[in-house]
Amino acid sequence: MSATLPDSLRPASRRGLVTEIAIVLLLSLGASALWSVLQFVDLNTREAPIGEQQVALNPTRSDRAWLDLIYQLTGIFLDIVPVALVVWLLWRSRRPHLGALGIDGSRPWRDSASGTALVLVIGIPGLALYFAGRALGLTVDVVPAPLDAHWFTVPVLLLSALRAGLTEEVIVIGYLFERLRRLGWSAWQIIAATAALRGVYHLYQGVPALIGNVAMGLLFGWLYQRTGRLVPLIVAHTLIDVAVFVGYPWAFATFPGLFA
């Protein structure tokens, strides 16, 4: 007589996987996509053209420094919780524990170098697309947080960049690729779907941001499909956001005429 496996050890049904994916996304970037669409509708139904409107990047949450720090750190912590959920769902008892996510720690320096090289491939065209969108009046004016607001501003911005790199790449690439493969999706269906999701949750910045992030998603998805390595994508995304969160405010303050 064969033993009956407990529910926790049985292969997940198709319906169970779909439900799990929906819950994970609605707790994380799927919710961001919904809010982004609503904000895009809001911006485009106002009297002022979208190119004349502003979106604050990493705004302060309180005029009291200690409370603003608590707000910022709490927001970062809560955004990382879905990443912890994904890690728990895909954790393997044997090494590599996070092999299903493309994280095994076997070549950290090579992965870091690959991620750094990706920054040039993604960052320069992304900057050019932003300026083009601003010139054409299709992109909102992204106003960065001043770096000298508080003593903790730069460290918190660096943590926010790491948060974004982990959240987007672990969930959108690592988790969704693993789960959608189990549902029988083809490689290019997964690449296209994850790229579209990445574009939609950046739509609040305007259509050029949607296009740029879809292109980034296609490249990242193709690279992950070919290499199975997630760490370079996390490194690249984190460094790009460091440039946006820290480098952009510095340039904004140093060369105001360039952003006028």
The pLDDT tens digits of the residues spanning 78-109 come to 999 999 999 999 998 888 889 888 888 888 89
11 in a structural domain: no
Look at residue 138 and tell me if it is in a domain: yes
pTM: 0.90
Q: Is residue 32 part of a domain?
A: yes
* Residue 99 covered by a domain: no
- Whether residue 10 is contained in a domain is answered as no
What is the structure's pLDDT at 175? 97
Long-range contacts of 166-170 (CB under 8 A, 24+ apart): 166/80, 166/83, 166/234, 166/238, 167/28, 167/29, 167/79, 167/80, 167/82, 167/83, 168/29, 168/198, 168/237, 169/220, 169/230, 169/233, 169/234, 169/237, 170/83, 170/86, 170/87, 170/101, 170/230, 170/234
Q: In the prediction, which pLDDT does 12 show?
A: 62
Q: Tell me, yes or no, whether 253 lies in a domain.
A: yes
The answer to whether position 97 is within a domain reads no
What percent of the residues of the chain are helix, what percent strand, and what percent coil, each to the nearest 5?
75, 5, 25
Amino acid (one-letter) located at 106 = S
Task: Read off the amino acid at residue 55.
Answer: V
Q: Are strands 141-144 and 54-57 parallel, antiparallel or unpaired?
A: parallel
Q: Classify residue 241: in a domain, yes or no.
A: yes
pLDDT in tens, 10-49: 446 889 999 999 999 999 999 999 999 999 999 999 999 9
- Which pLDDT score, from 0 to 100, does residue 8 have? 42
Q: Which amino acid is at 107?
A: R
Tell me the residue range of the domain where 165 lies: 26-54+65-75+108-259
Burial of 115 (0-12, 13-18, 19+ CB in 10 A): buried
Question: What is the count of structural domains for the chain?
Answer: 1
